[in-house]
Amino acid sequence: LVGNPADAAVLELTLRGPVLEFPQPTRIALCGARIDAHFEDVHARRHPVPVGRPVTLPAGVLTLGAIRNGLRAWLAVAGGIDVPCVLGSRSTDLRGGFGGIDGRALHEGDLLPIGAHPAIEAGTPLAPETTATMTRPAPAPPATKFAAARRSQWRCTQGVGP
């Protein structure tokens, strides 16, 4: 959604998200469970952030709150989170203490390195409109049509002997 390679790292959010400051314009995408998300630009204007599509943001603060209707959400940032690949993955193993940023959970004040990406310009948050096309569902064939075939499929003649 943000133009990253398939192996680019994202930020996995569990139950609640962080507050992130972006010093320059960027492009993000939130996916997964619904999450309370809003962005405050440098003029202190607050904007809702949609889920499931790319959003171009100017410099400012992204607040990711409670996760609803699920447990996890993911935040992709243009360029990806620039952490080393360990054992073929960019994820963090907290028990093993490796991967991610020093093999630990993120803390307030951490700086997340962002990988290289094309320059992004944005004066206000911008998300493309989505359009949904409703299609008419097709009815399934009547169950009675296949009832005999189903019964014969489950019939077996096996025995258990001494």
Strand stretches in the chain, DSSP E = 11-14, 19-22, 26-41, 46-48, 54-57, 60-77
pTM metric for this prediction: 0.76
Q: Which own/partner pairs from 59-62 qualify as long-range (CB within 8 Å, at least 24 positions apart)?
A: 59/22, 59/23, 59/24, 59/25, 60/21, 60/22, 61/19, 61/20, 61/21, 61/22, 62/19, 62/20, 62/21, 62/22, 62/28, 62/37, 62/38
Examine the pLDDT at 147 and tell me if it is beyond 80: no
Q: Give the mean pLDDT of the chain.
A: 85
The pLDDT tens digits for 55-111 are 999 999 999 999 999 999 999 999 999 999 999 999 999 999 999 999 999 999 999
Please answer whether residues 21 and 85 qualify as being in contact, where contact means their C-beta atoms are separated by less than 8 angstroms: no
Tokens of 28: 């993000």
* Residue indicated by tokens 């399934």: 140
